[in-house]
Amino acid sequence: MTTDTPGAGPAPTAVPPRVLTVAGSDSGGGAGIQADLKAMLALGTHGMSVLTAVTAQNSLGVQGAWELPLEAIRAQFRSVVDDIGVQAVKTGMLASPAIVETVASLLADLNAPVIVDPVGVSKHGDALLAADALDAVRTKLLPVATVATPNLDEVAQLTGVRVTTEADMPSAAAAILEFGPRWALVKGGHLRGDAVDLLTDGAEEHWLRSPRHDNRHTHGTGCTLASAIAAHLAHGMPVPEAVAAAKEYVTGAIEAGFPLGAGIGPVDHAWRWR
């Protein structure tokens, strides 16, 4: 090893911010932890994972799902947090009431922003969260969230508020904020017209609007957006800026989504590198 200055050591190696996903595996690589880790890498962070469940999944849907033992979930979390440390966390598929409660209690003691994507069903309509877990999401998980990112189906499941136009989004966000997250990001991806999301903390309102890309290959949009928010927060951005930057990233990834298999292909996490 050589150094320019006698007596000086080698230049310190730059360490990227560390971001943790607590989520399920998508064997097809389009959503779940695979999407999360790709988004985290693309946005200049070191991604790490706590696996909650394994799905057999592809472009056609979910063919099977298996939960991990609570002990394995706790052990993965402690391994990562106690040694490596995290600057932001994102949660995704949590499958059961017991997993939701376990993850919420682990996150309650963590000094880092938490993005909760309250994943309910996949794009193909496959359940990724048991119906009897909704109450634990409302009362245990959402209170520890810095940002909660429900889509319109998840808003309806959690709050009973049905959003059919942009005008309904503020009341939906207010109903999510009642459960205790610092910010609510209501995603309007399932409406017609522009893809419009509303971010609010009850005081500020930020409308995020992008053109709707007429591309059927949109598997993994929600996972990618939530992971991108976590990555930008880990870089030190304030919440509104982190969400705006994440929206720009997911919009590019949706535009570049590509066909794989016979069904809905994934968004392209590497679109900025191509």
Ligand X SMILES: Nc1ncnc2c1ncn2[C@@H]1O[C@H](COP(=O)(O)OP(=O)(O)O)[C@@H](O)[C@H]1O
Task: Return the range that interacts with ligand LCLJCK34 (CB under 6 A); candidates 6-14, 78-86, 176-184, 215-223.
Answer: 215-223
Q: Which of 220, 251, 257, 265 is catalytic?
A: 220
The reply to whether 209 sits near ligand X by the rule CB under 6 A is: no
Q: Which of 38, 90, 123, 187 is catalytic?
A: 187
Nearest alpha carbon to residue 114 among 149, 82, 79, 138: 149
For every residue of 177-192, DSSP letters joined together read: HTT--SEEEEE-TTSS
Task: Return the range that interacts with ligand X (CB under 6 A); candidates 13-21, 89-97, 105-113, 216-224.
Answer: 216-224
The reply to whether 55 sits near ligand LCLJCK34 by the rule CB under 6 A is: yes
Q: Which of 222, 228, 242, 271 binds ligand LCLJCK34 (CB under 6 A)?
A: 222
Q: DSSP alpha helices (H): ranges in the chain? A: 32-42, 70-79, 97-108, 134-136, 152-159, 169-177, 221-234, 239-255
Angle at alpha carbon of residue 208, lines to 202 and 213, rounded to 5°? 145
Q: Which of 91, 159, 221, 224 is catalytic?
A: 221
The reply to whether 147 sits near ligand X by the rule CB under 6 A is: no
The gap between the terminal CA atoms of the chain, to the nearest Å, is 35
Three-class SS string for 73-111?
HHHHHHHHHHHHCCCEEEECCCECHHHHHHHHHHHHCCC
The reply to whether 92 sits near ligand LCLJCK34 by the rule CB under 6 A is: yes
Q: Which of 34, 57, 221, 227 binds ligand X (CB under 6 A)?
A: 221
Place of tokens 């939530």: 226
The reply to whether 190 sits near ligand X by the rule CB under 6 A is: yes
Q: Which of 149, 221, 227, 251 binds ligand LCLJCK34 (CB under 6 A)?
A: 221
Nearest alpha carbon to residue 138 among 157, 152, 116, 158: 158
Tokens of 35: 């999407």
The reply to whether 210 sits near ligand X by the rule CB under 6 A is: yes
The reply to whether 257 sits near ligand X by the rule CB under 6 A is: no
Q: Is 221 a catalytic residue?
A: yes
Q: Which of 26, 67, 101, 154 binds ligand LCLJCK34 (CB under 6 A)?
A: 26
- The contact mask relative to ligand LCLJCK34 for 151-190 (x = CB under 6 A, - = no) is ----------------------------------------
Query: Whole-angstrom Cα distance, residue 172 to residue 187?
Result: 10
The reply to whether 149 sits near ligand LCLJCK34 by the rule CB under 6 A is: no
Phi first, then psi, for residue 127 (nearest 5°) are -70, 130
Which residues have a catalytic role annotated? 187, 218, 220-223
